[in-house]
């Protein structure tokens, strides 16, 4: 009997697969989730083998860096205020008060879900920017208006307020639906007015959700990338654009790393606070027969008219960029240059070019490949982990779960920088290969940042399966893998497809991570769209951005419909 | 057929089962009865193989199966919620175990249709999604899925608990019919004493991880071995000491005043044609009436102690609160522990 046979005899195939999976997961976690981030810390504070606070000194002496920190905090705080005001108003309009056309309004307010990030920022810039439709209109009214009015702090705040409110609305809308209508009826029965009920009965129920989304908003503000880069101008740059700027030079990489670490510490602190709030729990209706929320009429006619007017004004702000992007995608170069619309300049040429010219289609292809491959890899990886967590409940599985959630605690900038700095020279852990500057590093980056969301969804899907189904399968004679293949996976298949679609969609127009990790010969869509948002590019490139954006909107709408729309029916 | 020998099952410091010794005969309908958390389901799961005993052995037909994996035991289980696979239709659910056994398509089809016929599932129902079936139909699918493998033992974990009262009674009969038709040894878990009494050939009453009594339904009911069993099964009166003292004045065989004494409610009579030997007569007053339709439950006061009885609704016996009358009970109906 040779050695292989001996080992075979000692190990069952199940154990062997278990060992291989264990080794692979340990390698993956160490190589991509732990080591790059620790290495970043080491290179920042222990560059010469001993603790050095030099990066702090450099930071304190850099007015640009300090300003960017201040700007990020200012943006985060402002965003908390503006998004809460707009978000709560939108939820009240669509879910709480009886407003005419509420369904249409909701559809309008949700448009930012189909074109987020760099696409949205570029869209807003096209409307409100130097030669934008709105700017042209305003200049006709006020000839002395500076055409570069839409930049800096206010422009960033304006765009980000509308960009992130949709998510805010989804959370709050879910929370408001949980208000037991009988509590409102009983308050009314005791003589309370509409606004008193809103303040004393409804808002307290929403409070925990508002706190939680406020923290997420703060993090969004701190981590802003696209909006400050495109609209911030020289005077309003925040942490992430500064990290990007410092990261490009070897001499200031330590500053970039320190800024990324500071952002990471902020994120950790705020997420800890959020966990505490979540642990505090949400209010749960104690009614045995909970009744559905009915929309409240605003009895005061003036108040009703004002609410309607603001609701429709916000609707216009939301839908205008979408309509204008779609219209200009069918316009020729004259229309785009002059920001005017006319039937005479209507054309399908832009779309035709996308599908006939390889150079125009290439960014799409690059993004589709990156998004699809990373989505598939991350789903396979997290399926294995989720199954381990579902099946085994011991210390090692807890360690595995926490390790896989590391990217949730770290901003993507920090993850990107860790990968770039760590793998810019051959490292044994990746078989003496270099990743920085290769096409692989962006793929790895996408996989890493998608892990926490995917794991949380798939873990929840596994844990929602009735345990007795697995027991029944075994009782009927099926083995572990047969049970997994024939019973468990078919049950969670819809969740797998949903998370695949969401991950694919989420990175199709990504800019924030791509800007750090992309390969210059394989520019993804996000980078191309951002580059086309400057005035220096050709009008053809601008036209192509409209086409890219419209197709992205269609893909996003389809994805969202397939994942959420059909469920809602 | 089945033998549990010195079984102990511990979860950390908690002893779920303590020194369990039980035998189940071939073809028997054997019920494990007890309140929640008493260890009946743990015992059942140890037989199926989902739980490994901390010590002791389980034998089936003389073979020790204590460490045999679940999928190799050939013991089929019907789960409390039926555990039908939601992504498969009825046919595929029943065929699942046969496919695992790698039987041919033809064999699978024959077996599935044969068992479906026996449990009254028609061709149309076979092609339905399991979610489209009623509770009763789902139960029949679960039983068919278990029986199609021709197991030597069938185990059922509270299979009627998810159904409404009238369907429960109807399916109880169905279960009994199927079990008798197949002649399969069946272990049944329930906390419902009525289910246990009507279905079982024998019952084991569990309490806090031990078997208090194992026997026929008649013996368990009429000759309860422990205070727990007599309290758990049926409706019973605990006789207060002053009442027992009065009884002792009339009884040929005096009862021990230091021990608990019980008498079942239906063994307390309000009228007797022939008082006969050893019937004890007690003066009582009606203090409460609960009308159930088929019968009425009366509460009587005897020197400050309360005794209840039930009277069949025969249209004759109607008492009112405050009525004074004599109660009769036979000394042999009094159980002492």
Size of interface A-B (CB pairs under 8 A): 59
Residue of A nearest to B51 (CA): A471
Q: Does residue A187 sit within a domain?
A: yes
Over 60: is that where the pLDDT of A287 sits?
no
Over 90: is that where the pLDDT of A273 sits?
no
How many structural domains does chain A have? Answer: 1
Top pLDDT among A412 and B156 is at B156
Mean pLDDT of A3-11: 59
Of A466, A471, A478, the CB nearest to B50: A471
pLDDT band at B237 (very low <50, low <70, confident <90, very high): very high
Top pLDDT among A518 and B168 is at A518
Please tell me if residue B131 touches chain A, with a CB cutoff of 8 Å. no
Q: Which pLDDT does position A286 carry in this prediction?
A: 55
Locate A206 and state its tokens. 């929403």
Please tell me if residue B75 touches chain A, with a CB cutoff of 8 Å. yes
The A residues from 435 to 494 touching B (CB cutoff 8 Å) are 466, 468-469, 471-479, 482, 486-487, 490-491, 493
SS3 (DSSP) at A503 = helix
What is each CA distance from A349 to A331, A332, A365, A540, A543, in whole angstroms?
9, 8, 20, 10, 10
Where is B156: in which H helix or E strand?
Answer: strand B153-157
Of A474, A479, A487, the CB nearest to B85: A487
Of A472, A479, A493, the CB nearest to B79: A472
Please tell me if residue B32 touches chain A, with a CB cutoff of 8 Å. no
Which parts of chain B fold into alpha helices (H)? 40-48, 90-100, 105-118, 123-126, 135-147, 165-182, 193-199, 217-222, 227-232, 241-250
Beta bridge partner(s), residue B15: B10
Counted residue by residue, chain A has a size of 569
Residue A482 with chain B: CB contacts under 8 Å: 100
Beta bridge partner(s), residue B202: B30
Q: Which pLDDT does position A569 carry in this prediction?
A: 44
**Per-residue pLDDT tens digits for A52-102:** 788 788 888 888 889 999 999 999 999 999 999 999 999 999 988 999 999
Mean pLDDT of B43-49: 93
Q: Which pLDDT does position A568 carry in this prediction?
A: 47
Residue of A nearest to B81 (CA): A468
Please tell me if residue B71 touches chain A, with a CB cutoff of 8 Å. yes
What is each CA distance from B32 to A163, B23, B42, B200, B297, in whole angstroms?
62, 12, 10, 10, 29
CB contact under 8 A, A471 and B80: no
Of B50, B87, B100, the CB nearest to A476: B100
Please tell me if residue B115 touches chain A, with a CB cutoff of 8 Å. no
pLDDT band at A5 (very low <50, low <70, confident <90, very high): low
Strands B75-78 and B153-157, bridge-based pairing = parallel
Q: Which pLDDT does position A358 carry in this prediction?
A: 81
Residue B48 with chain A: CB contacts under 8 Å: 475
DSSP string, A202-238: IHHHHHHHHHHHHHHHHHHHHT--HHHHHHSTTT---
Residue B77 with chain A: CB contacts under 8 Å: 471-472, 475
Contacts for A123 with CB less than 8 Å, ≥ 6 apart: A115, A321, A322, A324, A325, A549
Of A469, A474, A493, the CB nearest to B85: A469
CB contact under 8 A, A476 and B87: no
Mean pLDDT of chain A: 86
Q: How far apart are CA B204 and CA B220, in angstroms?
A: 9
Q: How far apart are CA B264 and CA B220, in angstroms?
A: 13
**Per-residue pLDDT tens digits for A21-54:** 999 999 999 999 999 999 988 888 887 778 778 8
Residue B76 with chain A: CB contacts under 8 Å: 475-476
Q: How far apart are CA A513 and CA A243, in angstroms?
A: 12
Please tell me if residue B101 touches chain A, with a CB cutoff of 8 Å. yes
Contacts for A556 with CB less than 8 Å, ≥ 6 apart: A113, A114, A115, A505, A508
CB contact under 8 A, B85 and A482: no
What is each CA distance from B74 to A484, B47, B97, B147, in whole angstroms?
21, 11, 11, 11
Of chain A, the percentage scoring pLDDT greater than 90 comes to: 34
Q: How far apart are CA A161 and CA A317, in angstroms?
A: 11
Contact predicate B284/B307, CB 8 Å: yes
SS3 (DSSP) at B136 = helix
Contact predicate A200/A186, CB 8 Å: no
Q: Does residue A557 sit within a domain?
A: no
Q: Which pLDDT does position B179 carry in this prediction?
A: 86
Where is A59: in which H helix or E strand?
Answer: helix A54-61
Picking from A469, A471, A477, A490 by the largest number of B CB atoms within 10 A of its own CB, the best residue to mutate is A477
Over 50: is that where the pLDDT of B290 sits?
yes
CB contact under 8 A, A476 and B97: yes
Locate A250 and state its tokens. 């070897």
pLDDT band at A283 (very low <50, low <70, confident <90, very high): low
Please tell me if residue B83 touches chain A, with a CB cutoff of 8 Å. yes
Contact predicate A142/A136, CB 8 Å: no
Q: Does residue A119 sit within a domain?
A: yes
Contact predicate A151/A232, CB 8 Å: yes
Provide the CATH number for the domain around residue A304: 1.10.3720.10
Specify the residue for token string 């096209």. A126
Please tell me if residue B79 touches chain A, with a CB cutoff of 8 Å. yes
Residue B149 with chain A: CB contacts under 8 Å: 476-477
Please tell me if residue B52 touches chain A, with a CB cutoff of 8 Å. no
Distance between B15 CA and the closest CA of chain A, angstroms: 21
Counted residue by residue, chain B has a size of 337
Q: Helices A440-463 and A489-508 sit at what angle, rounded to 10 degrees? A: 140
Please tell me if residue B159 touches chain A, with a CB cutoff of 8 Å. no
**Per-residue pLDDT tens digits for A124-183:** 888 888 878 888 888 888 888 888 889 899 999 999 999 888 878 888 888 888 788 888
Q: How far apart are CA B311 and CA B325, in angstroms?
A: 14
Of B81, B86, B145, the CB nearest to A491: B86
Least confident of A182-196, A312-326, B45-59: A182-196
**Per-residue pLDDT tens digits for B191-219:** 999 999 999 999 999 999 999 999 999 99
Q: How far apart are CA A68 and CA A184, in angstroms?
A: 46
Q: Angle CA(A536)–CA(A321)–CA(A453) in degrees, nearest 5? A: 95
Where is A7: in which H helix or E strand?
Answer: helix A3-10
CB contact under 8 A, A468 and B71: no
Beta bridge partner(s), residue B46: none
Specify the residue for token string 């599932």. B121
Mean pLDDT of B40-63: 93
Q: Does residue A295 sit within a domain?
A: yes
CB-count exposure of residue B216 (10 Å: 0-12, 13-18, 19+): middle
Please tell me if residue B100 touches chain A, with a CB cutoff of 8 Å. yes
Which of A430, A422, A415 has the alpha carbon at shortest distance from A514? Answer: A415
Mean pLDDT of A286-298: 71
| Secondary structure string (H, E, C) spanning B267-326 | HCECCCCCCCCCEEEEEEEEEEEEECCCEEEEEEEECCEEEEEEEECCCCCCCCCCCEEE
Q: Does residue A423 sit within a domain?
A: no
Contact predicate B235/B67, CB 8 Å: no
Mean pLDDT of B161-186: 83
Q: How far apart are CA B233 and CA B222, in angstroms?
A: 10
Q: What are phi and psi of A89, to 5 degrees?
A: -60, -45
Residue of A nearest to B155 (CA): A475
CB contact under 8 A, B85 and A478: no
Distance between A489 CA and the closest CA of chain B, angstroms: 10
Distance between B97 CA and the closest CA of chain A, angstroms: 5
Q: Does residue A513 sit within a domain?
A: no
Over 90: is that where the pLDDT of B234 sits?
no
Please tell me if residue B85 touches chain A, with a CB cutoff of 8 Å. yes
Q: How far apart are CA B178 and CA B181, in angstroms?
A: 5
DSSP string, A125-164: HHHHSTT-HHHHHHHHH-TT--TT-S-SHHHHHHHHHHHH
Q: Does residue A475 sit within a domain?
A: no
Least confident of A16-25, A42-51, B145-154: A42-51
Q: Does residue A548 sit within a domain?
A: no
Distance between A480 CA and the closest CA of chain B, angstroms: 10
CB contact under 8 A, A473 and B48: no
Contact predicate A126/A341, CB 8 Å: no
Which of A246, A267, A264, A242 has the alpha carbon at shortest distance from A420? Answer: A246
Of chain B, the percentage scoring pLDDT greater than 90 comes to: 53
* Sign of the torsion formed by the C-alpha atoms of B268, B273, B278 and B280: positive
Q: How far apart are CA A556 and CA A505, in angstroms?
A: 6
Please tell me if residue B150 touches chain A, with a CB cutoff of 8 Å. no
Q: How far apart are CA B290 and CA B305, in angstroms?
A: 18
Q: Which pLDDT does position A285 carry in this prediction?
A: 53
Q: Which among A495-509, A524-538, B51-65 has the top mean pLDDT?
A: B51-65
Picking from B44, B75, B100, B144 by the largest number of A CB atoms within 10 A of its own CB, the best residue to mutate is B100
Mean pLDDT of A433-462: 93
What is the span of the domain harbouring residue A112? Answer: 53-328
Q: Helices A63-91 and A203-222 sit at what angle, rounded to 10 degrees? A: 150
pLDDT band at B16 (very low <50, low <70, confident <90, very high): very high
Please tell me if residue B81 touches chain A, with a CB cutoff of 8 Å. yes
CB contact under 8 A, A466 and B149: no
**Per-residue pLDDT tens digits for A194-227:** 888 888 888 888 888 888 888 888 888 988 888 9
Over 50: is that where the pLDDT of B81 sits?
yes
Residue A174 half-sphere exposure toward CB, CA atoms < 13 A: 11
Q: How far apart are CA A282 and CA A276, in angstroms?
A: 12
Which of A385, A494, A14, A478 has the alpha carbon at shortest distance from B83? Answer: A478
């Amino acid at each position: 009997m040779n050695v292989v046979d001996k080992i075979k005899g000692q190990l069952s195939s199940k154990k062997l697969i278990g060992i291989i999976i264990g080794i692979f997961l340990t390698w993956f976690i160490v190589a991509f989730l732990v080591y790059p981030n620790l290495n970043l810390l080491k290179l920042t504070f222990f560059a010469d083998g001993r603790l050095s606070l030099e990066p702090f000194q450099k930071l304190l002496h850099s007015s640009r860096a300090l300003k960017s920190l201040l700007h990020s905090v200012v943006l985060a705080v402002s965003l908390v205020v503006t998004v809460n005001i707009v978000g709560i108003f939108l939820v009240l309009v669509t879910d709480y008060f009886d407003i005419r056309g509420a369904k249409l309004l909701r559809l309008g307010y949700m448009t930012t879900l189909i074109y987020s990030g760099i696409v949205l920022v570029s869209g807003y810039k096209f409307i409100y920017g130097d030669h934008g439709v709105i700017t042209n209109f305003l200049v006709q009214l006020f000839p002395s208006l500076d055409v570069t009015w839409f930049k800096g702090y206010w422009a960033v705040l304006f765009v980000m307020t509308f960009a992130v409110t949709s998510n805010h609305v989804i959370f709050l809308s879910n929370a408001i639906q949980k208000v037991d209508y009988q509590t409102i009826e009983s308050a009314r029965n005791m003589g309370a007015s509409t606004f008193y009920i809103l303040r004393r009965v409804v808002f307290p129920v929403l409070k925990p959700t508002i706190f939680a989304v406020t923290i997420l908003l703060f993090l969004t503000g701190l981590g802003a990338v696209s909006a400050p880069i495109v609209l911030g101008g020289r005077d309003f740059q925040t942490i992430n654009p500064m990290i990007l700027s410092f990261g490009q030079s070897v001499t200031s990489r330590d500053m970039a790393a320190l800024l990324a670490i500071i952002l990471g510490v902020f994120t950790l602190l705020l997420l800890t606070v959020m966990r505490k709030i979540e642990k505090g729990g949400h209010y749960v209706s104690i009614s045995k027969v909970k009744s559905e929320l009915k929309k409240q009429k605003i009895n005061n006619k003036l108040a009703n008219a004002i609410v309607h007017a603001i609701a429709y004004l916000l609707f216009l702000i939301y839908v205008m960029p979408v309509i204008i992007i779609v219209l200009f995608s069918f316009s020729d170069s004259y229309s785009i240059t002059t920001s005017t619309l006319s039937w005479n300049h209507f054309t399908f040429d832009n779309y035709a070019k996308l599908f006939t010219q390889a150079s125009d289609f290439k960014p799409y292809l690059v993004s589709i490949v990156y998004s699809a491959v990373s989505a598939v890899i991350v789903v396979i990886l997290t399926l294995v982990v989720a199954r381990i967590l579902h099946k085994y409940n011991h210390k090692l599985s807890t360690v595995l779960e926490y390790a896989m959630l590391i990217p949730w605690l770290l901003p993507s900038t920090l993850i990107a920088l860790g990968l770039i700095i760590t793998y810019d020279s051959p490292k044994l852990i990746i078989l003496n290969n270099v990743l920085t500057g290769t096409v692989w590093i962006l793929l790895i980056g996408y996989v890493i940042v998608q892990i926490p969301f995917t794991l949380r969804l798939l873990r929840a899907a596994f844990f929602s399966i009735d345990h007795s189904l697995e027991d029944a399968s075994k009782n009927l004679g099926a083995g572990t893998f047969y049970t997994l293949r024939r019973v468990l996976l078919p049950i969670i298949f819809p969740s797998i497809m949903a998370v695949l679609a969401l991950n694919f969609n989420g990175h199709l127009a990504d800019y924030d991570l791509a800007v750090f990790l992309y390969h210059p010969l394989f520019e993804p869509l996000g980078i191309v769209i951002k580059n086309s948002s400057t005035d220096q590019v050709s009008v053809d490139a601008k036209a192509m951005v409209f086409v890219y954006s419209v197709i992205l909107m269609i893909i996003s709408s389809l994805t969202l419909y397939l994942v959420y729309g059909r469920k809602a029916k | 057929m089945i033998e549990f020998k010195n079984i102990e099952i511990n979860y950390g410091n908690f002893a779920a089962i303590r020194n369990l010794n039980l035998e189940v005969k071939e073809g028997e309908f054997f019920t494990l009865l007890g309140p929640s958390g008493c260890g009946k389901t743990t015992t059942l799961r140890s037989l199926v193989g989902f739980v490994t005993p901390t010590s002791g052995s389980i034998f089936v037909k003389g073979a020790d199966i204590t460490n045999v994996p679940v999928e190799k035991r050939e013991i089929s289980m019907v789960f409390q919620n039926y555990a039908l696979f939601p992504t498969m239709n009825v046919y595929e659910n029943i065929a699942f175990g046969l496919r695992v056994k790698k039987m041919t398509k033809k064999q699978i089809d024959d077996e599935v249709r044969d068992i479906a016929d026996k449990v009254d599932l028609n061709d149309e129902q076979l092609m339905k999604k399991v979610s489209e079936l009623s509770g009763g139909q789902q139960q029949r699918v679960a039983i068919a899925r278990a029986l199609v493998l021709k197991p030597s033992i069938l185990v059922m974990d509270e299979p009627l608990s998810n159904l409404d009262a009238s369907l429960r009674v109807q399916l109880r009969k169905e279960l009994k019919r199927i079990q008798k038709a197949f002649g399969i040894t069946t272990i049944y878990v329930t906390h419902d004493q009525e289910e246990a009494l009507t279905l079982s050939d024998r019952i084991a009453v569990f309490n806090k991880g031990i078997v208090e009594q194992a026997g026929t339904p008649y013996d368990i009911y009429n000759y309860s071995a422990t205070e727990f069993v007599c309290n758990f099964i049926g409706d019973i009166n605990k006789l207060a000491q002053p009442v027992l003292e009065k009884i002792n004045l009339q009884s040929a065989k005096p009862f021990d005043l230091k021990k608990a004494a019980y008498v079942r409610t239906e063994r307390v009579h309000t009228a007797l044609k022939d008082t006969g030997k050893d019937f004890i007569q007690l003066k009582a007053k009606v203090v409460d009436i609960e009308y159930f339709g088929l019968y009425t439950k009366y509460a009587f006061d005897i020197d400050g102690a309360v005794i209840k009885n039930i009277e069949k609704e025969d249209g004759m016996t109607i008492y009112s609160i405050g009525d004074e009358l004599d109660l009769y009970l036979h000394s042999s109906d009094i159980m002492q522990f």
